[in-house]
Chains A and B, each alone.
Chain A
Amino acid sequence: MTSSFVRDRPVTEAPSRREPRPAWRSAPGAALVLLGALSPWASAVIPGGAYPGLATLQFFDAPYLVTGFRLHLLLLGLAALLPRASRAAGAGAAVIALVHIAFLAALGVLSFGGPVTLAGGALLIWLGRREPAPEWKLPSRALAWPILVAAFAALLWAVSAMLTAGGQSRATNPHGGAEFLSFLGFAVGLFGILSAYGVLSWLSALAERHRAFSLTVLLACAMLLPLTEAGTGYWMTVASTIGIYAATAIGLNIVVGLAGLLDLGYVAFLGIGAFTAANLAHVVSFPVAALAGAVVAGLLGVVVGAPTLRVRGDYLAIVTLAFGEIFFRAAQNDIGGLTGGANSIPGIPPITLFGQGFDQPVGGLPAGFLYYALTVLLVAGTMAVLANLKHSRTGRAWLAIREDEDVARAMGVRTGRAKILAFLVGATLAGLAGAVFAHKLGTVGYESFDFSESVTLLAAVILGGMGTVPGALVGASLLFVLPEKLREFSDYRLMLFGLALILIMRFRPKGLVSS
């Protein structure tokens, strides 16, 4: 069968497919990227000052001062010379170039460095080697712990840099959106390079082996975020909002990712928790209100989950959608005077503990740190619930139901109980997150819980990877950071969501973090 394939080659020659491509093949692409990084990017001075910060010719006076995306390009261009790294570095460089070309084109300015870098990136992707990542041996414990600490510290730096990339708003930095997207391109390149050398899978295997230690360090690193560049009241608020949605998405991940029950009205449980806590805010203290929110949401979760005993698959999705819509309409019309209707419920007091208001700065830390710490604990708690349930008897029952309900039942899984339990747990977690949501915002209105929010949460779960523990966190961070960062594109937000859902299902149905 292969005879026609090898006919015109001497029989003695070994198949050349395994032969590595020579390393110099990445040299021209890398050279183009480096040239692009050092070239002028804007053909005119654009509003908001020179672009990028340091005019290109000054570079030769002080090369160590080069910053921003040109520094990223320099780093990627140098990294591209490593044989395995060239494809990922090329992809990162290409993304950065595309972002800035588009940004400059929108301002009516031509770019010279852009096309050069783009060509270099394309060349790198085209000529680069595609090989399976090497596998590394795991080190001993004495080495493993410092390595893990260093890795999580690097992760902390990456999160902080990602959060603050591009600045707070369009008012302070007119190039903010482009700078953020460009940083995202750099991050893609960086993670691609690490993954091509097998570093990421090595680190996650290491973290898996020293699980308790890693979780402690991870939690500590999360608490250290206020000490980084992101340690201002503004970023703390953004981070805690993301945390609340991440916790909700993790709850949804139990229902959709583990049990395979598509819930299209999930945000209603966040709303129920928020409205419950808002109504109780002036009556009882926060822990009681939060508990009440979680319990009420959990009970309604059972009510919504009850039809799962009779309804399956697509029909279940429609039932949950209908429940979500009923909640939305009821909240909109101020049902029983509980939701405030169009006026929403204002004046919810901030959480206080030992006389310390959570919206006030504490010690030398920025205002909002306490809310941030609370949401970190919330996220850590929901992640722990998910991780523990996943490997429990119940979790295995859910996975069995997700794969094939009939077979699961035949194998003795009590499917009805397991499905209702999934709804109960998911709704309770969302209710808890909702209580924090209400107190943090100080006002709760029905608009926060419409269908598009449910879709966003679902998209976060799918984007991150259904059923995985870090998946929902990654997905929620991306989906709730992006609109915050790209306010000038807020009109296109939902459109891009729709497109993203289609593309993910088409090209990466298992999500970014696949199990």
Chain B
Amino acid sequence: MSTLAQQIVNGLVLGALIGLIALGYTMLYGIVQLINFAHGEVFMVGAFGAHFVSLRLLPADTPWYTALPVMCVTAVAVSVAVAVAVERLAYRPLRGAHKLAPLITALGVSILLQEVVRVFYPGATAPLAFPRAFPDGHLVLGPVTVLWTGVLALAVAPLLAAALHLYVERSRLGRAMRATAQDPETARLMGIDPDRVILATFVLGAALAGVGAVLYGIHYTQIDTAIGFQNGIFAFTAAVLGGIGSIRGAMLGALSIGLVKSLAGQYAWGGAQYDYVWVFALLILVLMFRPQGFLGRPERVRA
């Protein structure tokens, strides 16, 4: 019983972190129908940015309440810069090209970013220890123990998702984003600049991924160049599961993915070595039988 509760909490923490990446996927796919493989890499680059600033620029005795915000700001800045550069240089020239072109480009960007970090970031050929920028120790709730970093992730991720939801629902730019997602042509006729909306989507998604990267790093205490791709695929699965385009759905989907991975690793056939397989199997089943996800609407065929 205590194992079950513990695995549920572990799964929820992972889910919350994946959720921060999934938000970027869901917004972007909702607006431009692009599976941005590179979004996972934007997350990974943010983690390395935070790693760099903490180990190379901050004095070793910086207290965590200074270090953590600085790392978050750096990660967000690095992630946003990379995402904007990718959008401008790789995706924007392809708008209106053949359907497969942006997807293949996204794949190329993903590989390029991974390899650039692996080759040029000192020591990145092996997993790197992430600085502990949060109090050690854990919260004990009956049979369950949660690291404080896990508590932080569980608190921050839904909060950010809610803030994003409010922003998209209430702000002027949010309205423009929803309009573009619904009908890009009409939105353009109404005076909305799609380039600006798409860029804003990239920026918002990257900022959330940057925050997620720092939370991920301090919780799992280790980063490598593969975290982006793997968690990116999970996040995309989560976004689909929740219903692409839906912010609440993405968070919900991510929490489910976290639960599946951690529970399947504990209880399903094959154990922890096969936990990824169960997530991928879930992905296939969802895509086949409920591609609109939990909260999405069935996709209408564009004439």
**Chain B hits for A264, CB < 8 A:** 107
Closest beta carbon of chain B to A420's beta carbon, Å: 14
Q: List 8 A-B contacts (CB under 8 A).
A: A262-B103, A307-B287, A313-B99, A319-B283, A494-B114, A497-B108, A498-B107, A505-B108
Known A-B contacts A455-B111, A498-B108, A506-B93; A322 and B284 likewise in contact (beta carbons under 8 Å): yes
* Alpha-carbon distance A333/B109, docked complex (angstroms): 30
* Alpha-carbon distance A501/B110, docked complex (angstroms): 11
* Alpha-carbon distance A332/B272, docked complex (angstroms): 13
Give the interface size class of chain A.
35 or more
9 further A-B contacts with Cβ under 8 Å, apart from A307-B284, A315-B287, A505-B101, are: A260-B100, A317-B35, A318-B240, A495-B115, A500-B108, A501-B111, A505-B104, A506-B93, A509-B98
Q: Which of A319-351 contact B (CB under 8 A)?
A: 319, 321-323, 325-326, 329-330, 332-333
Whether, in the assembled complex, A135 has its beta carbon less than 8 Å from a beta carbon of chain B, the answer is: no
Q: Which 9 A-B pairs have the closest CB atoms?
A: A501-B108, A498-B112, A498-B111, A495-B115, A322-B280, A502-B108, A505-B105, A498-B108, A494-B115
**Chain A hits for B98, CB < 8 A:** 509
Whether, in the assembled complex, A311 has its beta carbon less than 8 Å from a beta carbon of chain B, the answer is: yes
**Chain A hits for B273, CB < 8 A:** 329, 332-333
CB–CB B111/A452 < 8 A: yes
Whether, in the assembled complex, B13 has its beta carbon less than 8 Å from a beta carbon of chain A, the answer is: no
Residue in A256, A323, A333 whose beta carbon sits within 8 Å of that of B284 in the complex: A323
* Alpha-carbon distance A458/B110, docked complex (angstroms): 15
* Alpha-carbon distance A458/B273, docked complex (angstroms): 28
CB–CB B291/A311 < 8 A: yes
Q: Which of A62-96 contact B (CB under 8 A)?
A: none
CB–CB A505/B94 < 8 A: yes
Whether, in the assembled complex, A314 has its beta carbon less than 8 Å from a beta carbon of chain B, the answer is: yes
Where the two chains meet, the residues of A that have a C-beta atom closer than 8 Å to any C-beta of B are 256, 260, 262, 264, 307, 310-311, 313-315, 317-319, 321-323, 325-326, 329-330, 332-333, 406, 452, 455, 458, 462, 491-492, 494-495, 497-502, 505-506, 509
CB–CB A318/B283 < 8 A: yes
Closest beta carbon of chain B to A423's beta carbon, Å: 14
Nearest residue (CB) in B for A307 is B288
Closest beta carbon of chain A to B139's beta carbon, Å: 33
**Chain A hits for B140, CB < 8 A:** none
* Alpha-carbon distance A498/B37, docked complex (angstroms): 12
CB–CB A501/B107 < 8 A: yes
CB–CB A325/B280 < 8 A: yes
* Alpha-carbon distance A330/B102, docked complex (angstroms): 30
* Alpha-carbon distance A213/B188, docked complex (angstroms): 57
Residue from the set B93, B100, B233 with the largest chain A CB neighbour count within 10 Å? B100
Closest beta carbon of chain B to A479's beta carbon, Å: 13
CB–CB B277/A326 < 8 A: yes
* Alpha-carbon distance A462/B105, docked complex (angstroms): 11
